[in-house]
Amino acid sequence: MSPLRVHACAKFNLGLEVLGRRPDGFHEMRTVIQSLALSDVLDVYPAPSGLALECSDPSLPSGEENLVMRAARMLQEAFSCRKGARLRLLKRIPVQAGLGGGSADAAATLLALSRLWRLPGRPADLMPLAANLGSDVPFFLCGGTALGVGRGEEVYALPDAPRLEVVIALSPRGMPTARAYEQLDGRLTRANRVHTIQEIVQGIAEGKVGEGLLFNRFEEVSGQPEGDAAALRRALEKGGEGRLLLAGSGSAWLGLFSSREPAQESVRRMSHQGSRGILTHTLTRKDYWELTIPSQEKESLR
């Protein structure tokens, strides 16, 4: 039997400001989030009962601690559903890179199993579950370009930002999100750049990205790029084109380009330096949903 297949697309932040710790222990933030074409692939198969996950990355857990399993279990409980499923996850988004892979997988699980089990599966129906799974998960039920506020779980769709070509470079060490926030806490008394987030939003409304405004507060604690990321920086400096930006809370770095040719040239320069860059691009909201959910499944998810 053919599986039901859903793609879980990566994301990055065009702007990310952390304002401080909230009474609930989370951090208050303002961010502009953008979808990428790079994706994991989730296949789901029906089962009479129970849940089982197979993952292509042996370093990741396949039990209840995996966000895919947590999302599946939460969906079962929310709708008192006793049906089961087998899930197979192909990982292509690097882990602990700041690209939202785990959160994207959780959102894809909610969408796919809602279809498989014939539950209410519109994104609006699933938002409360997504917010309980993690601060980044609601964005993946929106896609495209969006403003995130609160702890990031309040998501507001923005007009599509102009397309960017993106080169992803990995650092030798991953960065767990909790550790990144701990390192940032001591620096949050400095003046914030909420006004810059507002300027990014305004620029997008005017049909431009405003690359000179893009920033990520976590760059203050990330240290200098290493490994592939250092090679990307050298490639950018040599080529004279592109903008280097940290992905989420780290550890991947991104080279942002307005056209494909200089992005490809940057990847070639990295290769000559013995490093690997992953070439992808940003997605409009329409393209995000075209990639996320196969066309033959869309009617059942509306």
Catalytic residue numbers, as ranges: 11, 136
Phi first, then psi, for residue 100 (nearest 5°) are 75, 25
Quick check: helix, strand or coil at residue 100?
coil
295: which 2 tokens? 């066309």
Q: What is the C-alpha to C-alpha distance for residues 302 and 300, in angstroms, rounded to an integer? A: 6
DSSP classification of residue 282: B
Q: Spell out a b/e string for 134-165, using b for 16 or more CB atoms within 10 Å of the CB, else e.
A: bbbbbbbbbbbbbbbebbbbebeebebbeebb
Phi first, then psi, for residue 36 (nearest 5°) are -120, 155
Are the C-beta atoms of 20 and 27 separated by less than 8 Å? yes
